[in-house]
Structure 1
Amino acid sequence: MSTAVLLGSDGRTRLLPLGEPAAVRRPAGPLRSRTAYAAAHVVPRVAGENVPGAPADVDWDTTLAFRHHLWSWGLGVADAMDTAQRNAGLDPAATRELVRRSAADARSVGGALVVGVNTDHLADDVVPLSRVVDAYVEQLHSAEDVGAGVVLMASRHLARVAEGPADYERVYAEVIARAGAPVLLHWLGEAFDPQLRGYFGSTEPAAAADVVVRVIERDADRVRGIKTSLLDAGAEIALRRRLPAGVAVYTGDDFHYVDLVEGDEQGFSHALLGAFAAIGPIAASAVAALDAGDPAGYRRLLGPTEALSRQVFAAPTSSYKTGIAFLSWLNGHQPAFAMVGGMHSGRSLPHLSEVVRLADAAGALEDPDLAARRWNGLLALSGVEVPTLEAVA
């Protein structure tokens, strides 16, 4: 049995014997009852100059291999989203390359893919609404040209210049009208990005939801759905019940996804979650249990992962990407615990120690021996007294 060393905020350590991974089984075919996208991260090149402020130097082979891992479990991939460090280390050139490469690999295996479309390539922080529209459309057409589905991400540029709900309605109407296929919208709450405070024209979720509903009702045949990342299950459910038939909610609520995806007698949310990138095999197996009419099996698999996700996405929530990369490293999907822009420093060792504990409790450590060796080694390298590494690895 492998043993991990846990580190408390007081500097004390204790030993944790690691359990077995969750009993997962690769689905024999496509997932049916829910559409589930994992929002994937990017892996930096180990020898790259991935320091704060530098252009991203991406390890493309490892980054794409992680997407193939997710596709092999029947999950879709949501790429070039905030999990991929948009506006947090992934520069516009690297974003374009990521979209191009992911689309090509998705075609090669028949994998489901949507990609984020934003305005983040604009050099100026403040631009007129017409330039916001043009920037969206530029990325929209670039994504469509390589065959990728589109998520119209929340735009910091729009948040800065919009004077009220009418400006949001105008911009989205003009952009949606120029899309070649139905799109997903994206409502990212300020917990994920404080610069998006008041998005859709109000800091009150109900008032902002009125704007969202008007935007969707205007073009219901051109909107597949909306990803909501509000960390407010009640607000998501209320929105879900107001949308036109055929327009779905894709939950981005990494705190409450177990109940939201299972749903109730009035409906359910599909999933577009950064958390699902961290727990891909468990997430896929849980949705397959719903496919088989086994809600108890669904909750048995997915329920324990929610405490892990709450730790990964704890305040400041925008630092959750560190936990996603950390779990990828523990599970052997990348060679180093590193991120573009040096963002792997975004969480403390005691915080990551709790991630290890909760990942073990959820069965989310795919190879406990490897996870223990890597984590214990990181502690030792950081100056933590690790008792006899050989005995606990």
Structure 2
Amino acid sequence: MPEAFRQILRMSYPSFSSLATTRSNGNYNHGTVVRRLTSSIRLNEEGPHSYRVHAKPLPGNSGVGLDRFLAAQRLDIQQRHEQLFNENSLEKIRQWNTLKDGYELSDNKGVAQKFIFEEELAAYKKLRYESKPAKLLEAVFKGITTYHQIHPSFGEKVFFEFPLENPHSEPINCTLEFDDTALRPVFDEEEWKFFKAVNKLTTPMERNMMRQTSDQIELYLQPRDIIFVPFVYDAFYFPSDHFNTYSTKVVFRRWDTKEPLSILDLHIHRRSFLLQHAVTFICETSGNWEKQLVLPPMTRDRRVFSCRCSDPSVRLTLRSATLQQIVGFTTYSGDTNDRKTFLLLMYSDHYQTRLMATWKVTILPFFNVDVRSIVGQTTRLHLLVHRRR
């Protein structure tokens, strides 16, 4: 083996001991763990076999927050950058590039050791260029994130409760942050009781658990306490710019430090709805259109308590007449080419949770022509027919 190659090996691996630990003299706050090549390492074995781990305590006590944790990681990255990119490390890499250019592949032992060293150096470079703060931050947020998925169809409401735990030994206030219009927390106690009865949940309820202000929603937690935060997802407001699957997040933060306490990762998978009836009405153009529709008997003789329409320009009314129920429509009809189609959703409760039927209603405006003529005489007039684009 050439003398230059032996020097490179001595600079990188002083000895082949299995495990060695060192500690700086007089300073017990820093530690270094070094693992070197062993005699059992074979050629082309996967993974880095030589690494160095620096360990130091975080500033302050053990109960530091996420901001102090990230500050310590940034300090560690700065120190690692100074160690890795100093002049001695760059000079070792230059010597290794010069050495490997003068050798060709053969079956001798020296070339095998050369390839082992090359694999170790490549793995070391890959590990060096990884984003260490990003990896640690991902692991921290993964530990406080809860994954939940729901499968609603259009017009349905899905109720669920999120268990929020206070891991601290002191009472805290936290804020609730989300940006999805289809998701909302349940503030009304009667509505919360109704959803728990429908879904057969026996979790405890707490009064005045949440308080809504003009700009945020606050929750109060006792020390080491777990509360169940109620949520309702309304698939009636499913975003039109998304496909049938998307995700949204709810973040619970401490009110004082803004530190994330818990994260809800909600995945929504929308199902196709079942259409029971399709109704078509014909009305005059450019005018107010009103229509009343008598509902037929529903399955199991259930009655309709509330209705919703997919078109916000249509006004709905529901009234009962003896044993029949009548739904009234009021909207504005456009030109002959303006066909209006909307969905009528009927529920068996006031909270619009149990969807009974989905109807498709179509309105076709027509142009009214008044003709005045004498009996027995032929009258000619011009009739303008609009072609649909």
When normalised by structure 1's length, the TM-score is 0.18
The higher radius of gyration belongs to: 2
Larger RCO (alpha carbons 8 Å, 6+ apart): 1
Normalising by the residue count of structure 2, what TM-score does the alignment of the two structures yield?
A: 0.18
- Higher normalized strand content (fraction of residues): 2
